């Protein structure tokens, strides 16, 4: 699994002009699922998302987690995080999980994040053409890869 976490003051997702998910302070999480992902990857990543200390404390240092600031999550599925670009100019997405595998994992991630935070997780619509609006706070953007935990 790959995730891009963006600390935001505001984020929303629209599909066909209608808001499907919207948050104030918190994290916009772009989530890519690959065929090799397992439940262990999901559990590890969910824990990291809610406990990553990337919010400012009283001294302006990044010492607080999403849980500490009572922040929200907007979770967006994004298979393009697995783009392979080494050959030619058209990216290949062969490593991205196909919808029959990816949808249940995405839905489990929603449930796991809701369980960990104790609050609803805002979402987009899997596979839809989504328009994401955000106000990146910092900016702070963190990239994570469950298959390369030592380097992320």
The per-residue DSSP string of 45-74 comes to HHHHHHH---EE-TTS-EEE-TTTTT-EEE
Place of tokens 């995080």: 81
On whether the CB atoms of residues 42 and 105 are closer than 8 A, the answer is yes
pLDDT at 65: 98
pLDDT at 92: 86
Catalytic member of 80, 85, 141, 146 = 80
Per-residue model confidence as pLDDT tens for the chain (152 residues) = 999 999 999 999 999 999 999 999 999 999 999 988 999 999 999 999 999 999 999 999 999 999 999 999 999 999 989 888 888 888 889 888 999 999 999 999 999 999 999 999 999 999 999 999 999 999 999 999 998 877 76
- Report the b/e string of 68-87 with b at 16+ CB within 10 A: eeebbbbbbbbbebbeeeee
> Structural domains in the chain?
2-151 (3.50.80.10)
pLDDT at 148: 87
Active site residue 20: no
Tell me how crowded residue 136 is: count the other CB atoms within 10 A of its CB: 14
Q: What is the pTM of this model?
A: 0.94
């Amino acid at each position: 699994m790959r995730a891009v976490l963006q600390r935001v003051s505001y984020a929303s997702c629209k599909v066909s002009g209608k808001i499907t998910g919207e948050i104030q302070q918190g994290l916009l999480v772009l989530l890519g699922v690959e065929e090799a992902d397992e439940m262990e990857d999901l559990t590890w990543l969910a824990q990291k998302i809610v406990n990553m200390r990337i919010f400012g404390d009283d001294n302006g240092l990044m010492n607080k987690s999403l849980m500490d600031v009572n922040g929200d999550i907007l979770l967006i599925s994004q298979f393009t995080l697995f783009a392979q670009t080494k050959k030619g100019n058209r990216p290949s997405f062969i490593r991205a999980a196909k919808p029959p595998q990816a949808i249940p994992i995405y839905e489990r991630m929603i449930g796991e994040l809701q369980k960990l935070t104790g609050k609803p997780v805002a979402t987009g619509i899997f596979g839809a053409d989504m328009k994401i609006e955000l106000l990146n706070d910092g900016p702070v953007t963190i990239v994570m890869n469950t298959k390369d935990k030592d380097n992320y």
